[in-house]
Structure 1
């Protein structure tokens, strides 16, 4: 059983829910083995065949759960029937749209000509409910449930992406009603129960366009010369109670989704921008993390409590950075806060140095930002900026998240962890091959590999493909990556190798069982600091609040440094003793392990869905922005090389596209897979990862804005 991921050419792969013996990776499904399954379906695979290298091939036996109740696409009125072409090219099926009276299970009559209203819909973007799924002999059939407009109309691209990725985007009436009746004023009785931080110089620091403020911070200097870091996080769990409509909708969404010109919040605006948001000069309920930190970054004491704050100022990254750079205008405006920002900077640098000593990886890759004018039109694509103010918040949030994770783990209660597993040996091997072409290595030494000859049955040995697979687990740590990032810092190849290193790592996810966070070099980590926009954070808040309000606090450690992580081994009588998966606790689990396990799976899937939607819409926006630049030439960098050509990124616009190999007409080129390069037979000209060149924008595909270039120099 597993999830089917389809390719636009009709074949696909099933990602098994549980590891299969002797199988490496996913299960290949050929076009003829798909049956009625569609992209994203949960399926059962039969007739499994595994070759010596561990690669598996099978057929879809049956569909357990459909992923595509609706499909968004472009409507066409054909002479023998109407149909919709899905925008998702992983659904290579036309959806037939019969006349309304024929949308039942019977066969549509293909001889019907398009009605006048059908011709008016020609080229429109529609959302279609699937009535009959495709089979080996029949096409899928559906009925139109929404007409979204024409593809080039303002805002339709966002509507397409929302429906393509099945993002919940409209709050049901019961959710809106629950949000509307939440009082805008905090009860005095509740304030009296909490620790009062309202007189402290606490501030929020966010981007210029932010509307929901999850976190507020301050750093105090203690009499012993140590720092006290205070991280105050909006107490969403006070307002969003379990088993309410608000909670069910937040769990369904899993996360807020951020598009360049629009956001889909996890919570209604009455909460996300209102009573939960740590707005300046307003009393707000928080869960607080107080950490005593020495001048070496060691956390000597931790405290967690329910609190109330009144943010002194709504700061931006730009403004804080300007204050720290002694900008006269900013100093005049925020002068009283300047010493606090300087103290924050000092502590952030100490915490960063400590993380680096432990081996944490920091790629610091820039991200694209699209700028709009007052009418909503795109005017520029630029690289995001990161200054010292971003570093302040990043370091403080990392410290708070780690402290909460270690505290809950020490108490032994079931919780949500943000885990990042060690990289897959095959991915590391592939990266090492590319890095070697630049003269770099992770420093792992020779990798143990085994060669396999694979091919279809009856293929002569001379025509079989030879593949290499690692034969053992790698002794790899984040320090290997950190050392290489230090070596390439400031070099021309820094960006491309950093990007490739990132791709060699696994995706972080949520899990009930803690296995540590590889990239952060932390044995325990969670997400606690963004409960307005992430459901796992809200769950961690509920668990922490339950612990704080519990009568029994016997298991609570005096200091974080003294707390032995519960799922690691310890020394006992000179021998290693493996602790149980989770230590026995005097506290009951606020949320059961089974429930947390389900939540982590759902939240990880929601995070992936949101990331894919954000990434895809960004590419659509880039394509639309570049339309007016068709035929123009740009400086570019080769980011990857494959059998059909190579991908380039425009240095000026942060835009990527393909150079098809057939556009290289000056001579015949040969693909050298091992070196991942194309080489000209006559002049030996090479195109390989990291090369800079001049390209012309030749074509922008619709929909989705996929761009094609040709080499001009």
Structure 2
């Protein structure tokens, strides 16, 4: 630090204190040991300043700025583009040039007291020593985050510093957003000025555009080509047309739909009857999309390209034009609709003993939401209580049998957001499986399995050497080494020993899931085991479905939203009409076609899943934008080399707690056991650890929530 710099710093120290300081106190304020300041240099400067009548020394050898009101002049501080002046009404001293380091805590427009410091080349240079009155105008800037604090970043042409933002619960700050603030404190020029944000320009359109970025990033097309729309608009409503040849009229049957409360595309319905032997005849009726969408039509080509509908938090990007998905194909109540029905006969042991497929015309008699269906199943007043309870009982029997035969009993839940009238997330809920959701799930699983068995049986009956070309939903056996690593982790987590296996069996996985069911570790164990599984995909080859315990499985029940199901419908109809005797040329065409489609829709499904996850992450950040600074309890759901992922109990949102913020210790990352261990305290953080944290930062642009550690619970 040279002499001029030391002089400036000395004047700042003396202007910032209310009491005179001796040399030792001055050296301490100047942090002399760190800055290499010699006592002799300081004494020399003190003498110079005293001779220039800028400072004075009292009888106790303590120094202070000269406080002579006759030497102090009032004026207005002006700052522009890095230069400061004080303009006064004194005719002899009308302008004082002020270096930034001599500006004290003055802001542009403030009324200040200034003292002459030096005269250079005819210009008077002053030191601001006091603020008489603040201008108190709004301070405009952009909210930015740095080193654990939020700042109002201002125009450097108007302000010398950025402003530290004081938090309160309902600020609603969004990083990167324009904001206005009011100065609350700036008494120490060594510290940044503080502001309270007065207005945050939170434009709803800006939040909506954040969701639009998800659509753009994943190249999801919300609009359909004109030729597709034109073709869709020419399709006639089945309620206005005659019964087509070969279609079975079952409008007299009591058929119902059960879907989410906000659903618009009802693609499945169910019915229950009994045959002459009192066997259960379960009907699953699926929207007959293939009747309206011929192979290689404009709609079909577009649907194939999309592969599936994508369900984002604030919108649905459909596979089919809405005139089909939400109207003509949708199995609305009390309206005639074309369907593709499978009737499955179950014996007294709930074994599948017979199945039939028919193109049908149905008329759904009742539409239930999952919540309404559950209420009826639980005994709520309804005309169909007995029927719903019987359906639920059948589904639970099928469910237990599936697990006994090799299906894995993973618990399932789904994060759903409540939106306000602007389609902005305001609340989140975890939707867990219920008897009503399980009822529909089991019936759809049985239908998917039945139509696959139908193709297999028809191929054999027709004398074909190989099964006819088809699209299967497969889930290959998991990697033994990966599953054993999961078992080892669960052993460490629970203190129970689980031996390595030479062959992965559903029974072993179910035993672990059942053992810890309804315990605090159950969600973590479910998550770890699911991650150890292979990913389900589409394939033209049948490898079975490990997770469901089925040797034969496809997707048949959702042709409105999945292209696989639409192709399956077409193939089923084609094979039914030919009694399984497809021509060689047709088979030669279908073999590469089913492979190409399977590969493509596996990719589009993955893209949609990633887009849906990104949409959920963004929705979570937007939902908590007003909750920065609030404390919550949460559970560690993931451990990586730089921190912990937590889900908060109350808000159901996930964020990151960086390892550097875990506390006063050095934490070593144990990759094998997915944990951090404190070197000194031996404190352990792993999946399932309960913590109390504060929401420290959000970043809407990056869909990130950062936590600050409070304590381990």
TM value normalised by structure 2: 0.68
Mapped contact 1:423–1:505 kept (Cα < 8 A): yes
Compute the displacement of 1:265 (Å): 0.8
Match for residue 468 of structure 2 among 390, 409, 413:
413
Q: 1:161 to 1:488 in 2, by over 3 A?
A: same
Distance 1:237 1:494 in 2: 42
Match of 1:609 in 2: 607
Compute the displacement of 1:475 (Å): 1.1
CA deviation string 1:162-186 (max 9, x = no partner): 1111112210000000001111245
Distance 2:283 2:497 in 1: 37
Match of 2:522 in 1: 494
Distance 1:372 1:152 in 2: 15
Q: 1:226 to 1:288 in 2, by over 3 A?
A: same
Distance 2:645 2:310 in 1: 28
CA deviation string 1:17-39 (max 9, x = no partner): xxxxxxxxxxxxxxxxxxxxxxx
Q: 1:657 to 1:526 in 2, by over 3 A?
A: same
Q: 1:275 to 1:326 in 2, by over 3 A?
A: same
Distance 1:154 1:696 in 2: 24
Distance 1:381 1:354 in 2: 34
Compute the displacement of 1:667 (Å): 2.1
Match of 1:683 in 2: 681
Mapped contact 2:279–2:347 kept (Cα < 8 A): yes
Distance 2:570 2:473 in 1: 16
SS across alignment from 1:629? coil
CA deviation string 1:435-490 (max 9, x = no partner): 121237795x346xxxxxxxxxxxxxxxxxxxxxxxxxx41122221111111101
Match of 2:412 in 1: 365
CA deviation string 1:209-262 (max 9, x = no partner): 000110110111233221000001011001000111100000011001111221
Match of 1:538 in 2: 566
Match of 2:490 in 1: 435
Distance 1:626 1:663 in 2: 21
Q: 1:300 to 1:426 in 2, by over 3 A?
A: same
Match of 2:403 in 1: 356
Q: 1:679 to 1:154 in 2, by over 3 A?
A: closer
Match of 1:284 in 2: 337
Mapped contact 2:211–2:314 kept (Cα < 8 A): no
Match of 1:508 in 2: 536
Alignment of 1:107-256 (within 5 A): 153-185=206-238, 189-256=242-309
Distance 1:653 1:690 in 2: 17
Mapped contact 2:210–2:701 kept (Cα < 8 A): no
Match for residue 356 of structure 2 among 282, 295, 303:
303
CA deviation string 1:338-385 (max 9, x = no partner): 222122112111111110111211222322111112343322111114
Larger radius of gyration: 2
Indicate the larger mover: 671-680 or 348-357: 671-680
Mapped contact 2:267–2:286 kept (Cα < 8 A): yes
Compute the displacement of 1:682 (Å): 2.5
Compute the displacement of 1:649 (Å): 1.2
Compute the displacement of 1:425 (Å): 3.0
Distance 1:367 1:704 in 2: 23
Give aligned pairs, total: 504
Q: 1:192 to 1:206 in 2, by over 3 A?
A: same
Distance 1:235 1:442 in 2: 51
Mapped contact 1:428–1:504 kept (Cα < 8 A): yes
1:598 counterpart = 2:604: no
Match of 2:430 in 1: 383
Match of 1:49 in 2: none
Indicate the larger mover: 151-160 or 686-695: 151-160
Mapped contact 1:432–1:441 kept (Cα < 8 A): no
Compute the displacement of 1:276 (Å): 0.8
Query: Can you give the 5+ residue segments of structure 1 that lack an aligned partner in the other structure?
Result: 1-122, 125-148, 448-473, 556-583
Compute the displacement of 1:702 (Å): 3.8
Compute the displacement of 1:597 (Å): 0.3
Mapped contact 1:157–1:617 kept (Cα < 8 A): no
Mapped contact 1:186–1:284 kept (Cα < 8 A): yes
Distance 2:455 2:495 in 1: 41
Distance 1:299 1:314 in 2: 27
Compute the displacement of 1:548 (Å): 1.8
SS across alignment from 1:592? helix
SS across alignment from 1:389? helix
Mapped contact 1:442–1:481 kept (Cα < 8 A): no
Match for residue 693 of structure 1 among 669, 691, 694:
691
Match of 2:624 in 1: 626
Indicate the larger mover: 377-386 or 388-397: 377-386
Mapped contact 2:635–2:647 kept (Cα < 8 A): yes
Mapped contact 2:638–2:644 kept (Cα < 8 A): yes
Match of 1:423 in 2: 478
1:339 counterpart = 2:339: no
Mapped contact 1:221–1:228 kept (Cα < 8 A): yes
Match of 1:574 in 2: none
Q: 1:403 to 1:440 in 2, by over 3 A?
A: farther
Match of 1:77 in 2: none
